[in-house]
Amino acid sequence: MRPNGHARTNGTLPNGGINRPRVNGHGPVHHGNGTTRPEERITSLSRFWTTERNATVNNRIPTPYAKLKRQCLERAVIWEDPDFTPSYKLLPKNKKLQHPIVWLRPHELTPHPRFAGEQPWKVQLEMGLQGDIWLLLALTTLSTTPRLLERNVPLDQTFGSGYCGVFRFRFWQFGQWVEVCVDDRLPVCRGRPVGICCSDPSLNDFWPALMEKAYAKFYGGYDRLNDGSGARALQDLSGGIVQSFKLGAQDRYLTYQVLNSAVPRSSLIVASILPDRERRALKLRHGLVTHSSYDITGLARVRDTGNGSTTIGETPLVRLRGPFGRNQWVGPWSERYVDDHIFFVNLFN
């Protein structure tokens, strides 16, 4: 079994919607919660806004974030999303949960919540009791290129001055950036969000849980995220064109040349081990985990001179970044750990 698949993005950064920048040659940046500027073509909010879903909310048109916030501040109210109300039907079934799930706002969990710290992309994240593993892995991948992730998570949001319970996030759909607004009522079990959250609870950063809620609304519920994939999550977050291929069906040296060309261009490249007959995540004897994602962050060639001074060959190495910490790779070259998450693997093994 070999890792396979890679996703690419050209790494361009929107300029806050100014001059309608383009990403990957596609459509303009989308502004507002499902609406566009007059000069831009109309688009639906997201996959959540299907005909069936709109029927259930009486064809309510999403309100732009700025207008929502202004109305809440003028009326001195905390916003409650009428189109994504707390419901157990939105959550995936999890028999392992032995305690009830309640929906609470961050202020009800900690006296000093914050949206994000000074370096939010360096915070270690965990899946929680029933978070979306593919979204978590995509966030981990994009954290290596902060300018891409800042496009999804506007950092001008806060629980301090101007707080009114509404937060916004952006996802890529049908050639445009779509902005999704959610309130901050989160599913909580035993005082912790049940989805993606910071590994260190003392940080009190709630952007991961709020982003996952917006992503769940994007698809129509938390339960819909269980059928996701790493490629789809990366495309939704980066706006890049996803290409996947199996290493076993490719020429090894051609594969190395493709990777050697893509890495310097800030392409997002992810390797996975996907067995044909097993859909569960299994830890292999060398430490790698199936149905997980490892970021390819660099390449190297090590010359083998044997016992003499003459070069008898080269070993191509791939530098991987994994989500599981030290000892996630115990095979050859495992002693060459860069840190707890980065290690080298022989590409041809």
The tens digit of pLDDT for each residue in 46-78 reads 333 333 333 333 445 555 898 999 999 999 999
**Can you name the residues that pair with 126 across neighbouring β-strands?**
197
Structure tokens given for 154: 């506007």
Cα–Cα distance measured from residue 15 to residue 217, given in angstroms and rounded to the nearest whole number: 25
Please check whether residues 295 and 149 belong to one and the same domain. no
Mean per-residue pLDDT for 221-230?
82
> In this structure, are 207 and 285 located in the same domain?
no
Does residue 243 lie within any of the structural domains? no
What digits encode the pLDDT tens for the residues 246-258? 877 778 788 888 8
Tell whether 226 and 315 lie within a shared domain.
no
169 and 90 belong to one structural domain: yes
232 and 304, same domain (yes or no): no
Is 3 a member of any domain? no
Q: Over the stretch 12-57, which tens digit does the pLDDT of each residue have?
A: 444 444 443 333 433 333 444 444 433 333 333 333 333 333 333 3
Residue type, 167: F
pLDDT at 2: 44
Let me know whether 256 and 232 are in one domain.
no
Which pLDDT value is given to residue 305?
64
User: Within this chain, do residues 113 and 227 fall inside the same structural domain, yes or no?
Assistant: yes
Whether residue 12 lies inside any domain: the answer is: no
Phi, psi of 238 (to 5 degrees): -100, -25
The pLDDT tens digits for 175-208 are 999 999 999 999 998 888 888 888 887 888 999 9
Would you state the pLDDT for residue 312? 59
From 201, 236, 271, the end of a domain falls on 236
pLDDT score recorded for residue 177: 93
pLDDT band at 336 (very low <50, low <70, confident <90, very high): low
Higher pLDDT, 238 or 90: 238
Confidence of residue 97 (pLDDT cuts 50, 70, 90): low
pLDDT at 228 over 80: no
Within a domain: 2: no
The rounded mean pLDDT for the chain is: 76
Ranges 73-77, 277-281, 284-288, most confident: 73-77
Give mean pLDDT, residues 214-233. Answer: 86
Together in a domain, 170 and 38: yes
Does the pLDDT value for residue 92 go beyond 80?
no
Please indicate, yes or no, whether residues 177 and 283 belong to a single structural domain of this protein: no
Does 165 score more than 80 pLDDT?
yes
Which element (helix H / strand E) includes 246?
A: strand 242-246
CB contact set of 233 (below 8 Å; sequence gap of 6+): 132, 134, 135, 137, 138
- 95 shares a domain with 64: yes
> Long-range contacts for 121-125 (Cβ within 8 Å, ≥24 apart)?
121/146, 121/149, 123/198, 123/199, 123/200, 123/203, 123/205, 123/208, 124/198, 124/199, 124/200, 125/196, 125/197, 125/198, 125/199, 125/208
What's residue 52's pLDDT? Answer: 36
Task: Output 29 or 107, whichever has higher pLDDT.
Answer: 107
Q: Residue ranges of the alpha helices (H) in the chain?
A: 51-56, 65-75, 133-142, 146-152, 207-219, 230-238, 252-262
What is the number of alpha carbons within 13 Å of residue 285 lying toward its C-beta?
A: 2
Tally of structural domains, the chain: 2
Q: Greater confidence, 9 or 281?
A: 281
CA dist 169 → 64, 197, 208, 215, 316 (Å): 12, 16, 11, 8, 40
Q: pLDDT band at residue 173, thresholds of 50, 70 and 90?
A: very high
Distance, CA of 153 to CA of 211 (rounded, Å): 8
Range of the domain at 147: 27-236
pLDDT at position 59: 47
Of residues 2 and 217, more confidence is placed in 217
Q: In the predicted model, what is the mean pLDDT of residues 212-232?
A: 87
Please give the residue that has the higher pLDDT: either 201 or 338: 201
70-81: pLDDT as tens digits = 999 999 999 999
Q: Are residues 175 and 60 in the same domain?
A: yes
The pLDDT-based confidence of 140 (bands split at 50, 70, 90) is confident
Residues 6+ apart with CB under 8 A from 311: 303, 304, 305
Are both 165 and 263 inside the same structural domain?
no
Residue among 308, 302, 307 nearest 336 (CA):
302
Find out whether 4 and 246 touch, Cβ atoms under 8 Å.
yes
Residue 18 resides in a domain = no
Cβ atoms of residues 204 and 57 within 8 Å: no
Please tell me whether residue 237 adopts helix, strand or coil conformation: helix
